[in-house]
Amino acid sequence: MEIGLQREGEEAPPRQNLGTNQSGMRDYNERLVLSLLRRNGSLAKTEIARMTGLSAQTVSVIMRRLEAEELLVRGDPQRGKVGQPSIPMSLNPDGAFFLGLKIGRRSSELALIDFCGTIRRTCRHSYAYPTPAETIRLVTADMDEIAGSLAPRDWERVAGLGIAIPFQLWNWADAAGAPPGAMDGWREVDIRAAVAEKCPFPVYLQNDATSACGAELVFGDPPARGDFVYLYLGAFVGGGVALGGRLFGGRTGNAGALGSMPVPDRNGKTRQLIDVASLSALEKRLLASGRDTTHLWVSPDDWGAQGPEESAWIEEAAHGLAHAILAASAVIDFQTAVIDGWLPLSVRAGIVERTAHRLAGLDSEGIALPAVREGTVGRHARALGGASLPLADRFLVGAQSAF
């Protein structure tokens, strides 16, 4: 997350669109305090004043206001050698709630998260391919179920819903195995507007892989910083880009669409990364060998015993990912390449290890190779990324760019 300070008399950062009056400055500084607490867990007022440069009195006013709004809670007093004990403050998990909707090519997921980013409830559905009408029906039913599980006070504190969805979803009909024309309805529907009609709160929308990258920024452990390229292995692989600890969406919001990047396969034939590093590619291998593929979509925590098909796919995926990371690094000098996905942790670790090994063996003269590491959010990254959209828009300093 990008952290900055607005002092009295200064204009708000241009990317924030908060205005330059006193109200806008107060809103920015409240976001700043909340962002610092999200990153650090808990802080005393004196620590916040030192980190921001705000006066102790200003910080006290901000903290009292946020506590009155039930966004912060007090910790136990910490006694030092001299003076009054300091009281650490932290985010109140029940201070606000957010919904994240992942609409995927093979499954949907609606997640409710609290103010600290903990998933409180999920509703998930698998399907052969998505259609707008069925998706809206499922979302409506899932929201009713979640609303019914919450106290009225908590449902009133839901600050928004973010949708994470592949852009131009209709173009993936063949790859998803849908009948001709079955997904054409996505050309006409405005899914954000359709969902917003069912909601008493704001609705946001962002590319699914970019949303997953945003989840790593906001909820990663530790939160990702600096410049990194992000790859998420789902039914189809996708990516995102973060620059300076901030999502970079590009002109159309689709920056980091690494699934479309041409890469050589292990036979030297040029293919798109989506054809070699997606779970759909593994599914084809398993089906060709007569094996069941249900576990890929319903058991992301444990695939059970792995056979030669999984091992071959991991090698093929790592080969393609390494070439994609190298090509991306020739354009932007990334510090890190982060890999996550709808995968068991052991499989993710294996892919990261093999990708790093492959990358080190490529001709990278003139390029400083990024470190390759695992993501920390895991299989819920896209839904959490969707939920991060309203969270960032209302409560954080410049971590997201939604449209």
**Bond before 222 cis per omega within 30 degrees:** yes
Pairwise CA distance, residues 131 & 162, whole Å:
19
- Which pLDDT score, from 0 to 100, does residue 7 have? 32
CATH node for 223-375: 3.30.420.40
- Which pLDDT score, from 0 to 100, does residue 17 have? 34
- Which pLDDT score, from 0 to 100, does residue 32 have? 92
pLDDT per position as a tens digit, 13-64: 333 333 334 455 568 999 999 999 998 889 999 999 999 999 999 999 999 9
Spatial CA neighbour of 66 closest among 395, 293, 364, 362: 395
User: Yes or no: is domain 22-91 CATH 2.40.160.20?
Assistant: no
Do 223-375 and 22-91 have the same topology in CATH? no
Of 74-78, 128-132, 147-151, 158-162, the range with the lowest mean pLDDT is 74-78
The whole-number average pLDDT for the span 100-114 is: 94
pLDDT per position as a tens digit, 302-356: 898 889 999 999 999 999 999 999 999 999 999 999 999 999 999 999 999 999 9
- Which pLDDT score, from 0 to 100, does residue 2 have? 37
Domains in the chain: boundaries: 22-91, 97-212+383-395, 223-375
State the pLDDT confidence band at 169, using cuts at 50, 70 and 90.
confident
pTM of the model: 0.85
pLDDT per position as a tens digit, 348-391: 999 999 999 999 999 999 999 999 999 999 999 999 999 999 99
Other Cβ atoms closer than 10 A to 262:
12
Instruction: Read off the tokens for 279.
Output: 């779970």
pLDDT per position as a tens digit, 218-228: 998 876 678 99
- Region class of 19: left (phi > 0), else alpha (psi between -120 and 50), else beta: left
Mean pLDDT rounded to a whole number for the chain = 88
Spatial CA neighbour of 374 closest among 326, 339, 335: 339
Helix (H) or strand (E) holding 172: none
151 has a pLDDT exceeding 70: yes
Q: Which CATH class is domain 97-212+383-395?
A: alpha beta
Q: For residue 66, give the amino acid letter.
A: L
Report yes or no: 32 and 52 within 8 Å, Cβ to Cβ.
Answer: yes
